[in-house]
Amino acid sequence: MRTLPRTLTAALAATLLLTGCGGGDTGATGATGDDDTKNADPANGSACALADLGVEVGAGAAPAAGDTGTVTVTLTNQGADCTLKGFPAVQLHAGDSTTSVSPEESAQSRPLTLGEGGTTSFTLTYVRGEAGSAQSLAVRKASFTLPGATADAHELTWSYGEVARTDDGGVEASVSGFESAGD
């Protein structure tokens, strides 16, 4: 008879322990947290790391306030096969403030495996703000991290003008998911 209560106690303890995990807290850095960490599958050593990727940036800058611009980041795997699961975490930096960029509303995360020499890209889309306006963010640099590798950030100099703010203090910007070459 004592086995049943101990078994129930152990099951209850395990359930409570597991419900305390997760949460997806974005924290101050704006990284997507637990979802990206679990999606990256770092236990198998297969999560892509920035140190193993070449980075190229191309932009279609917005010419005037109210126009939409894009910044495309292309990543080339220079190491062993690796997998990206989740979204890149993108930050815009202006003076002492840092603002996170959310994934596109319709974007869906799908796992993408990169072999050696394989490429992928993601695109930051933004609305240019009016210079000097309180409704604009004077961005000077951007940074991004990969899912599961939030401590390793790549910084980019921002020379594409100010970014328009939303009414709630965010920015009129979004980031796509990872796309394989040819998509």
pLDDT tens-digit series, residues 105-147: 998 888 999 999 999 999 999 999 999 999 999 999 999 999 9
Q: Please give the pLDDT value at position 152.
A: 87
Sign of CA dihedral 172, 154, 83, 45: negative
**Burial label, 182 (beta-carbon count in 10 A; 0-12, 13-18, 19+):** exposed
Lookup: tokens for 147:
């899912």
Q: Is the pLDDT of residue 43 over 60?
A: no
Could you tell me if 163 and 92 are in contact, meaning their C-beta atoms sit under 8 angstroms apart?
yes
Mean pLDDT, rounded, of the chain: 79
Band of residue 149 on the pLDDT scale cut at 50, 70, 90 = confident
Range of weakest confidence among 12-21, 85-94, 120-129? 12-21
Report the residue count for the chain: 183
Q: Please give the pLDDT value at position 72.
A: 97
Band of residue 169 on the pLDDT scale cut at 50, 70, 90 = confident
Q: Is the pLDDT of residue 99 over 50?
A: yes
173 in helix, strand or coil? strand
Distance CA 68, CA 91 (A): 18
